[in-house]
């Protein structure tokens, strides 16, 4: 399993990355895309929407399932990855490059509630047993 | 009436197989003096519709009512082949199979239905059908609200079918959706685009546009559609599928076309039967496809590269999304849709257009005949095959008197539009002959010109 150490992880299988400008990029994990199978559609939150940590904010649809995605951190959506509209398979190809949306965080300290790479790998290992 | 499916070529092949020269030669054993001589005074061939009419007339006292009732369900000529084929064992199943891909024939019929309906409505995608036109509209409204992500208000004209308005309210108001009704213009019988100005910037998720509307009138669909889009709302078309053979399809309304088109599919080969079963159709633009409820059949290639059919976009539906599914309804009206598909295939674009033109021509003929008797249309807007006429006396009593003469005279608007209690909604489809129309106009004018 691939689990970059520079990211934070939610128990609902989203990753969050703090960018150099202080914004936060969000996507779903390698494990999540593996469980879903071929991703065919992504419904990201629209720009301007205010998200709350842990609340639903979109849907990822594969050929066999549709799963809600949850905001790993509170904030306002400032960008959506338009590439995923025509090429949702990029999530399968490289889950950590295929960011879904970027937000301006309300409080970066919220990231402390998320897991680091080791914590997330333990979670996945526990779920698969 | 049975449908005899053999082509001339097949007849020749069968004769060749048994070594007979002609069908007549099969009857050679009958002594020559017994068969009638060459028949004389036999008229030219008649169309199936005309033969059906002759037989009904000769059936005498059990002849059905002469009906000029429309109001949402319409009497059309259904070629005998439609139900002869639809009721074959391969099609005549009450349910779409659960292992859908094992039933390629069923899926192919649905795929062809979808393709024909998309072409008829001018839209990108249609599903495999819904329960009926009214619940189809409720689903379209739920789609619009999901898409709007915020606004939960819908604008509905009072020229929309009253039953559709009731069904929509039952389904959507319990989901915190507000339905605002628009008054119609008392002179033209349509929704005036100018009357929408007071709703500018009122953040509606959608505007519903019926065409023809419940009064049979044609709305100014281009202007209404453009107003909706200028307001950031979706335009939902409610249309009669037969009329689309001659009217502009919803996909071409206004600058950008309607976003969703729905309607009652019954006119396409489904007989009038005490209210059903009928079927609803729903079509939309590609951008809305993931909001569309129900089943969608797609065409694809299998591992060996052979074409096949599959249920697609299922991840939105109940068995996967549970309470978050895009619809309460996953089923479709398989049998009625099979009949509609066969009807459309038999009629073809030209046949459908001819039926629609005949409906309209009969409406014009009725209009002229009633006008000659001093009975005028209530509204000025152009109509398709149905119109409101002023009787100047209570419609209820006129309809009761017509029934005594075996005529169903039309639809009494009193319950739904109290202001139209002395008017009658009258429909003429292609099933009506010149004699039918003349008989009706005589009967109606006799009742409305004598003193009550």
Q: What is the pLDDT of residues B365-423, one digit of tens each?
A: 999 999 999 999 999 999 999 999 999 899 999 999 999 999 999 999 999 999 999 99
Strand ranges for B200-266 from DSSP E: 206-211, 234-239, 260-264
Of B239, B262, B224, B228, which Cα lies nearest the Cα of B151? B228
Distance from CA of B91 to the nearest CA of A (A): 28
- CB contact, 8 Å: B322 with chain A? no
Report residue B275 as tokens: 């209210």
Average pLDDT of chain A to the nearest whole number: 93
Beta carbons of B256 and B229 less than 8 angstroms apart: yes
Of B283, B307, B308, B286, which Cα lies nearest the Cα of B294? B283
Beta carbons of B141 and B150 less than 8 angstroms apart: no
- The partner residue sitting opposite B316, judged by closest CB among A63, A66, A68, is A66
The reported pLDDT for the residue numbered B100 is 78
The residue of chain B with its CA nearest to that of A62 is: B315
Predicted complex ipTM:
0.72
- The partner residue sitting opposite B315, judged by closest CB among A46, A62, A68, is A62
Of B189, B265, B251, which Cα lies nearest the Cα of B419? B189
Q: What is the DSSP string of B74-102?
A: ------HHHHHHHTSTTT--SS--SSGGG
- B38 has pLDDT over 80: no
Distances (CA, A) of A65 to A19, A62, B389, B437: 31, 5, 55, 57
Note the pTM of the prediction, 2 decimals.
0.84
Residue B158 preceded by cis peptide, ω within 30: no
Distance from CA of B148 to the nearest CA of A (A): 11
Poorest-confidence range of A54-63, B341-350, B433-442? A54-63
Mutate to test the interface with A, among B151, B288, B315 (most CBs of A within 10 A): B315
DSSP A60: E
Beta carbons of A28 and A15 less than 8 angstroms apart: yes
- CB contact, 8 Å: B54 with chain A? no
Instruction: State the sign of the Cα–Cα–Cα–Cα dihedral B329, B251, B160, B241.
Output: negative
| pLDDT tens, position by position, B145-191 | 998 878 999 999 999 999 999 999 999 998 999 999 999 999 999 99
Of B332, B304, B440, which Cα lies nearest the Cα of B107? B332
- CB contact, 8 Å: B321 with chain A? yes
- The partner residue sitting opposite B315, judged by closest CB among A46, A64, A68, is A64
Taking an 8 Å cut-off on Cβ atoms, the answer to whether B149 and A46 are in contact is: yes
- The partner residue sitting opposite A65, judged by closest CB among B149, B290, B315, is B315
The reported pLDDT for the residue numbered B452 is 44
Residue B434 dihedral angles phi and psi, to the nearest 5°: -55, -40
Return the residue matching tokens 């979706």. B234
| pLDDT tens, position by position, B214-262 | 999 999 999 999 999 999 999 999 999 999 999 999 999 999 999 999 9
Of B353, B352, B334, which Cα lies nearest the Cα of B113? B334
């Amino acid at each position: 399993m691939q689990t970059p150490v520079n990211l934070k992880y939610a128990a609902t299988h989203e990753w969050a990355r703090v960018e150099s400008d202080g914004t936060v990029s969000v996507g779903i994990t390698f494990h999540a895309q593996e469980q879903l199978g071929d991703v065919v559609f992504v419904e990201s939150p629209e720009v301007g929407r205010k998200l709350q940590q842990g609340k639903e904010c979109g849907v990822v649809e594969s050929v066999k399932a549709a799963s809600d995605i949850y905001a790993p951190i509170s904030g306002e959506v400032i960008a959506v990855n338009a590439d995923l509209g025509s090429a949702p398979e990029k999530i399968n190809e490289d889950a950590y490059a295929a960011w879904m949306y970027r937000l301006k965080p309300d409080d970066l300290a919220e990231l402390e509630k998320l897991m680091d790479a080791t914590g997330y790998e333990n979670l996945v290992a526990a779920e698969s047993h | 009436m049975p449908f005899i499916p053999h082509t001339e070529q097949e007849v020749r092949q069968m004769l060749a197989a048994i070594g007979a020269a002609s069908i007549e030669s099969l009857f050679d054993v009958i002594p020559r003096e017994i068969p009638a001589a060459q028949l004389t005074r036999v008229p030219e061939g008649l169309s199936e519709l005309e033969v059906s009419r002759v037989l009904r007339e000769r059936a005498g006292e059990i002849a059905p009512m002469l009906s000029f009732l429309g109001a949402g369900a319409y009497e059309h000529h259904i070629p005998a082949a439609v139900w002869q084929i639809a009721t074959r064992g391969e099609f005549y199943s009450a349910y779409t199979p659960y292992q859908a891909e094992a039933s390629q024939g069923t899926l192919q019929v649905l795929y062809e239905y979808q393709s024909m309906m998309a072409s008829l409505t001018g839209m990108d995608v249609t599903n495999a059908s819904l329960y009926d036109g009214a619940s189809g509209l409720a689903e379209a409204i739920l789609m619009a609200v999901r898409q709007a992500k915020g606004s939960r208000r819908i604008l509905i004209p009072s020229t929309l079918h009253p039953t559709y308005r009731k069904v929509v309210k039952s389904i959507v108001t319990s989901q915190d959706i507000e339905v605002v009704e628009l008054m119609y213009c008392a002179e033209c019988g349509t929704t005036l685009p100018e009357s929408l100005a007071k709703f500018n910037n009122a953040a509606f998720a959608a505007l519903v546009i019926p065409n023809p509307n419940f009064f049979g009138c044609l709305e100014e669909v281009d202007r209404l559609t453009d107003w909706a889009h200028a307001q950031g709302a979706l335009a939902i078309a409610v249309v009669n599928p037969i009329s689309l053979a001659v009217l502009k399809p919803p996909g071409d309304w206004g600058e950008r076309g309607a976003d969703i088109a729905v309607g009652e599919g019954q006119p396409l080969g489904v007989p009038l039967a005490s209210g059903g079963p009928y079927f609803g159709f729903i079509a939309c633009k590609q951008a809305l496809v993931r909001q569309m409820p129900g089943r969608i059949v797609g065409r694809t290639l299998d591992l060996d590269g052979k074409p096949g059919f599959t249920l697609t976009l299922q991840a939105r539906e109940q068995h996967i999304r549970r309470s978050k599914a895009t619809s309460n309804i996953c089923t479709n009206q398989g049998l009625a849709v099979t009949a509609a598909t066969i009807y459309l295939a038999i009629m073809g674009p030209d046949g459908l257009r001819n039926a629609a033109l005949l409906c309209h021509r009969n409406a014009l003929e009725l209009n002229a005949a009633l006008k000659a008797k001093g009975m005028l249309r209530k509204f000025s807007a152009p109509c398709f095959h149905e119109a409101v006429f002023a009787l100047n006396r209570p419609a209820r009593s006129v309809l009761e008197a017509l029934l005594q003469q075996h005529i169903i005279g039309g639809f009494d608007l009193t319950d739904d539009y109290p202001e139209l209690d002395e008017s009658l909604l009258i429909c003429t489809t292609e099933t009506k002959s010149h004699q039918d129309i003349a008989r009706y106009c005589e009967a109606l004018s006799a009742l409305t010109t004598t003193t009550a």
